[in-house]
Amino acid sequence: MKNTVKYWVGILLSGLVLLTGCNDENGIVPDEITGLTAESTPGCIILHWNTPEGANFHHIEVNYYDPLLKKDVMRAASAYANSIEIPNTRRKYGEYNFTVQTVSSTGDRSAVQNISMISEPAEPTYVNTQIALTAADLSTNAQEPSEGPIANLLDGNKSTFFHTAWSVGIPGPHWLQANLKREITDSYKFYYAPRNNANNKPTDFDLMGSTDGNEWFLIKNFTKEADGLPTTSTGEYTSEVYRVERPFSQIRIMVNETNNGSVFWTMSEFKFYSVTIEDPEAPDADE
């Protein structure tokens, strides 16, 4: 009887060894991933890998020091993933060093794999603040007396318009002026919509700046060819964001040419924005 018991115990133990042949003394030894690579994108690093078919691990852990957060960080990916994103990276911090391990359901870990990458620069963000203009802030040297009052530029209605003088002879260039009531020192952009007809649309104008309304300087010349100024009845124009080279608190749009050669011109809506550019790659950013 004792020999019979020993026989069956032996059989059971042998089977247990066979069933747990992929385990170590403490649990399951996880398989490793293969083909680990790193990809750099603006403000983000992406790690890619291949997972062996039927791999016996629970998840993947990526550990690294994050200089933005000033601490060690662990990010996890499931056993079904083949990549993981490391967000909010910066080129200014140089090389990021990652350790990658698979982890089994029993908490056992594979050998460490190491990989490093420098991030592409994080992209700047733009904070646009529309200047709250009123009709009292606008002026012109050539208001047409019969139509198109200057206040129409601010009424939010594209079917109304501002028109410079055509019924009375006022030499060009005809200009529109706006008191911004604040000094623009960082960056700016502006928007306008032409009148919804075919003529009298600016195709070349100088954006002038001033801090006192007396001394004026050229900020930038805009043209249809270089800047895509609209000449259709439904066109709109939003400028790029431009850095301020010389501060200004007043602007003047001096129209040099129109699409039909007239001195007078029209416009239906106008907006101006002060823009703050937040560059995460600046040396003192994120401090």
Residues 6+ apart with CB under 8 A from 207: 190, 218, 219, 220, 221, 222, 251, 252, 253
Question: At 5, phi and psi to the nearest 5?
Answer: -60, -45
Q: How confident is the model at residue 7 (pLDDT cuts 50, 70, 90)?
A: very low
**Taking 80 as the threshold, does the pLDDT of residue 285 lie above it?**
no
**Taking 70 as the threshold, does the pLDDT of residue 19 lie above it?**
no
Q: What is the pTM of this model?
A: 0.73
Residue of 190, 151, 209 whose CA lies nearest to 271? 190
Nearest-5° Cα angle at 130, 124 to 133: 160
Within 13 Å and on the Cβ side, how many CA atoms surround 250? Answer: 18
| Element containing residue 224 per DSSP (H, E) | helix 224-227
End-to-end CA distance of the chain: 79
CA dist 136 and 144 (Å) reads 17
Residue of 67, 55, 62, 97 whose CA lies nearest to 83? 62
Number of Cβ atoms within 10 Å of the Cβ of 98: 20
| Element containing residue 7 per DSSP (H, E) | helix 2-19
**Taking 50 as the threshold, does the pLDDT of residue 17 lie above it?**
no
Within 13 Å and on the Cβ side, how many CA atoms surround 153? Answer: 28
**Collapsing DSSP states into helix, strand and coil, what is residue 226?**
helix
Question: At 249, phi and psi to the nearest 5?
Answer: -125, -5
Tens of pLDDT along 23-55? 455 688 899 999 999 999 999 999 999 998 888
Give the percent of the chain with pLDDT over 70: 90
CA dist 98 and 138 (Å) reads 58
Tens of pLDDT along 128-143? 999 999 999 999 999 9
CA dist 248 and 274 (Å) reads 11
Looking at per-residue confidence, does 7 or 93 come out higher? 93
Give the percent of the chain with pLDDT over 90: 85
| pLDDT mean across residues, the chain | 91
Residues 6+ apart with CB under 8 A from 116: 38, 95, 96, 97, 98
CA dist 30 and 108 (Å) reads 7
Q: Which domains does the chain have, with CATH numbers?
A: 28-122 (2.60.40.10), 128-278 (2.60.120.260)
Q: What is the pLDDT of residue 284?
A: 80
